[in-house]
Structure 1
Amino acid sequence: MSEPENAGRGEAALLGPAEVRVLAERFGVRPTKQLGQNFVHDANTVRRIVAAGSVGRDDVVLEVGPGLGSLTLGLLDAADRVIAVEIDPNLAEHLPQTVKDRAPTLADRLTVVQADALRVQAADLPAAPTALVANLPYNVAVPVLLHLLAELPSIRTTLVMVQLEVADRLAAVPGGRIYGVPSVKAGFFGTVKRAGTVGRQIFWPVPQVESGLVRIDRYTESPWPMDEIHRKRVYEVVDAAFAQRRKTLRAALAGWAGSPVEAERRLVAAGIAPTARGETLDTAAFVRLAQQAPTE
């Protein structure tokens, strides 16, 4: 392969459709549904994602599922450091060389961690990331996102590409049909909003669904405790409320509280009508409700 354009000018030569297929063939990569592998091959989309994430030179960016390196190269152009977590050992092995070939002056900014993002802990990373930017595998997008936000409080800004339906659910507001568990739990960490829609044709292989961009800005001053014990208490009441979302909270939370009477007492103490339903409550209301449960 000839030397990529821009390779000697301190810029990354981003991947296009032809380059993605060449790399995949060279590395023996056959995208699998099990790992949710759909590789981005549109440079303009990569630039758009980097811009939407407000990635700057002082950022340490965590990327999940870098794949063949399409988004990685764009992030290296903008950030001081990129930590790429890749579960596929074959892809993890080849990514550094791809970066050296296409952005030799930026290669020292990249660290690849071969690991499952669902199990990554802060101690597994060489530095504390300040931003999370990723094309998340559709089948585990929400669990990965919530795990990383909980595990890595240093992350200030998050910009993820997920299935469009998931993007809508994450950014949904109380009162709507699609507002639910992902909406409330993402809102525990910061403000959540949609950041655009992405067509399916920019991927290889082409997925069956459209994609959406979601941005989360972590609270600069948290309105509630963010420790693991408190977060789990909030998650417990959220899960209970939406497990039977057609029921009033007095009925839906009877198991969580121990009885309908005790559920009503806690609801009233939190300033919530017992006849309300879970989809009408914002994250702050669920936090108040969790705080009414006795501590062990």
Structure 2
Amino acid sequence: MASDHDQRLLDPTAVRGLVAELGLRPTKQRGQNFVTDANTVRRIVALAEVGEDDVVVEIGPGLGSLTLGLLHRARRVIAIEIDELLAGALPATVERLAPNRADALTVLTADALRVDTLPEPPTKVVANLPYNVSVPVLLHLLATFDSWRYGLVMVQSEVADRLVAGPGSKTYGIPSLKLAWYAAARRVGSVAPSVFWPVPNVDSGLVALDRRDPVPTTASREQVFAVIDAAFAQRRKMLRSALSGMAGSSAAASAVLEQAGVDPQTRGEQLGIADFARIAEALAGR
């Protein structure tokens, strides 16, 4: 593997040059904001603790800013890119800037939300996730590929806050809980808009994910997630009201909640993932 000082990474001039060469018009729809700062790339790779045995999945590699940093450390990088133009150009960029690591790159031209097989089981996920699909993509990768135990994702700052929030927090909700089913999330840094081109109008946050075993329960993930969705459909409602549709009535919901050891007058935002698993179990066992 190359040492840090002889890595060739993309800088602002190289990014603009590639954009011009490809005739690319970055779209907000696909969250195409490319990292132009080499130190930010090195920081992400370091926080991701990427090692020479790792098979890293990267979502939305774009022009290859982070891909190049990952290739200097990982055994293999599987980059999933929905944009055909960018996917087609990435191998040539790597060949030019990291020729000795070109064979370690696999590019899949695909929508990350639809990918259900990979050429090799990943050990890590490291990605600058498009803002508009960051949570669905993350949950899909966690549900579909159970071989990776650690991840580091860059998402919109507001999304980062939601992912790491705990019960009782204003930002706590469906993303926090569904992620908690799979992993412990913690915020490990922030990234300024100035390191991207085009410059977004939001800050970004870095979130580390440590996968853990799901809560022990006889309820399925789908059943637990359905209860979460119902509890937060009208977030200010007490659970006995929010779950009345699932249980058949407010009284039936109260009975289910009491069986699960939960106060029927509490709200979903006060409960953790284990509480929701008990509620789903009680509902399923009626």
Normalised by the shorter chain, which TM-score bucket? over 0.9
- Decide whether aligned partners of structure 1 residues 230 and 109 sit closer, same or farther in structure 2, where only a CA change above 3 A counts: same
Identity percentage of aligned residues: 57
Q: Which of these residues, 128, 131, 138, is aligned with residue 145 of structure 1?
A: 138
Alignment-mate amino acid for residue 232 of structure 2:
F
- Separation in 2 of the partners of 1:171 and 1:7? 34
C-alpha offsets along residues 100-134 of structure 1, whole Å, 9 cap, x if unaligned? 1000111111000000011110x2x1111111100
- Give the structure 2 partner of residue 101 of structure 1: 96
Whether contact under 8 Å (1:13, 1:103) holds in the other structure is yes
Please show how residues 92-171 of structure 1 align to structure 2 within 5 Å: 92-121=87-116, 123=117, 125-171=118-164
- Give the structure 1 partner of residue 239 of structure 2: 249
- Give the structure 2 partner of residue 239 of structure 1: 229
Q: Which of these residues, 173, 176, 179, is aligned with residue 172 of structure 2?
A: 179
Question: Normalising to structure 1: TM-score of the pair?
Answer: 0.92
- Give the structure 2 partner of residue 209 of structure 1: 202
C-alpha offsets along residues 46-94 of structure 1, whole Å, 9 cap, x if unaligned? 1111111111111110000000000000000111110000000010001
- Decide whether aligned partners of structure 1 residues 249 and 8 sit closer, same or farther in structure 2, where only a CA change above 3 A counts: closer
- Give the structure 1 partner of residue 272 of structure 2: 282
- Decide whether aligned partners of structure 1 residues 11 and 265 sit closer, same or farther in structure 2, where only a CA change above 3 A counts: farther
- Decide whether aligned partners of structure 1 residues 174 and 9 sit closer, same or farther in structure 2, where only a CA change above 3 A counts: closer
Q: Give how far 1:230 is off.
A: 1.2
Q: Give how far 1:155 is off.
A: 1.5
Whether contact under 8 Å (2:181, 2:215) holds in the other structure is no
Q: Where do 5+ consecutive residues of structure 1 fail to align? A: 1-5
- Decide whether aligned partners of structure 1 residues 239 and 137 sit closer, same or farther in structure 2, where only a CA change above 3 A counts: same
- Separation in 2 of the partners of 1:7 and 1:197? 27
- Separation in 2 of the partners of 1:11 and 1:230? 49
- Separation in 2 of the partners of 1:41 and 1:154? 31
C-alpha offsets along residues 230-263 of structure 1, whole Å, 9 cap, x if unaligned? 1111110001001111111011111122211121
- Separation in 2 of the partners of 1:109 and 1:12? 15
Q: Give how far 1:291 is off.
A: 1.3
- Decide whether aligned partners of structure 1 residues 127 and 11 sit closer, same or farther in structure 2, where only a CA change above 3 A counts: farther
- Decide whether aligned partners of structure 1 residues 101 and 88 sit closer, same or farther in structure 2, where only a CA change above 3 A counts: same
Matched residues, number: 286
2:284 counterpart SS class: coil
Whether contact under 8 Å (2:155, 2:205) holds in the other structure is yes
Q: Which of these residues, 249, 258, 279, is aligned with residue 248 of structure 2?
A: 258
| 1:75 lines up with 2:70 in the alignment | yes
- Separation in 1 of the partners of 2:97 and 2:64? 10
Whether contact under 8 Å (1:12, 1:76) holds in the other structure is no
- Give the structure 1 partner of residue 14 of structure 2: 19
- Separation in 1 of the partners of 2:2 and 2:207? 31
Alignment-mate amino acid for residue 142 of structure 1:
V
Alignment-mate amino acid for residue 139 of structure 2:
L
2:283 counterpart SS class: coil
Whether contact under 8 Å (1:11, 1:77) holds in the other structure is no
1:78 counterpart SS class: coil
| 1:224 lines up with 2:219 in the alignment | no
- Separation in 1 of the partners of 2:92 and 2:109? 15
- Decide whether aligned partners of structure 1 residues 111 and 264 sit closer, same or farther in structure 2, where only a CA change above 3 A counts: same
Q: Give how far 1:99 is off.
A: 0.3
Q: Which moved more, 1:196-205 or 1:281-290?
A: 281-290
**Runs of 4+ displaced beyond 4 Å:** 6-11
Q: Which of these residues, 192, 204, 213, is aligned with residue 185 of structure 2?
A: 192
